[in-house]
């Protein structure tokens, strides 16, 4: 990069104004120096705009990845990678819950009692599955 202290003379390697470095002065017209300064300013502006665009794209990509990760965590109805191993366990727990609901309705003939037990069964079934069948090694 050309370092100019004055508009007429300058050194290509340092800021010595052409004396003492051994390279010698570079003579440049004022118009050429102005054009070069304008071109360098334009290039610096373009680099800054390109950097800002890259940062904006990086922010958008990070935001999109955060949203996708949050959505994946919320999707409770989808099975995880070990769902095929627990299929029989889910069937067993579902059968027990329906049997308990049926027996409760036969003895109490109360729909609210059955709904409370169904809610408890829905909440407790994953815990039973994890604590009883999830400990296989």
Has residue 1 been placed in a domain? no
114 and 60 belong to one structural domain: no
Has residue 124 been placed in a domain? yes
26 and 67 belong to one structural domain: yes
Q: What angle do CA 128, 129, 130 make, to 5 degrees?
A: 95
Q: Is the pLDDT of residue 85 over 70?
A: no
Residue 99: its pLDDT value, please? Answer: 83
CA distances from 130 to 58, 107, 119, 134 (A): 39, 30, 18, 4
Is the whole model's pTM more than 0.85, yes or no? no
100 and 126 belong to one structural domain: yes
Residue 60 lies in domain: 9-74
Strand partners, 3: 11
Residue-wise pLDDT tens digits, 65-81: 998 888 777 665 566 66
CA distances from 46 to 2, 40, 43, 50 (A): 19, 10, 5, 6
Residue 46: its pLDDT value, please? Answer: 95
Give the end of a domain, one of 74, 94, 119.
74
- Number of folded domains that form the chain: 2
User: What average pLDDT is seen over the chain?
Assistant: 76
The string over 48-81, giving b where at least 16 C-beta atoms fall within 10 Å of a residue's C-beta and e elsewhere, is eeeeeeeeeeeeeeeeeeeeeeeeeeeeeeeeee
91 and 68 belong to one structural domain: no
User: Which parts of the chain fold into alpha helices (H)?
Assistant: 30-74, 87-108, 111-128
């Amino acid at each position: 990069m050309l370092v100019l202290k004055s508009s007429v003379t300058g050194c290509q390697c340092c800021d010595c104004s052409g004396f003492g470095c051994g390279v010698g002065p570079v003579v440049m017209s004022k118009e050429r120096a102005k054009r070069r300064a304008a071109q360098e300013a334009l290039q610096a502006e373009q680099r800054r705009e390109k950097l800002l665009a890259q940062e904006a794209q990086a922010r958008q990509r990070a935001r999109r990845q955060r949203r996708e990760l949050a959505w994946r965590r919320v999707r409770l109805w989808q099975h995880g990678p070990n769902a095929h191993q627990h299929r029989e366990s889910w069937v067993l727990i579902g059968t027990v819950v329906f049997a308990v609901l049926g027996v409760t309705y036969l003895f109490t003939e109360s729909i609210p009692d059955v709904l409370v037990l169904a809610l408890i069964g829905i909440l407790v079934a994953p815990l039973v599955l994890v604590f009883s069948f999830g400990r296989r090694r």
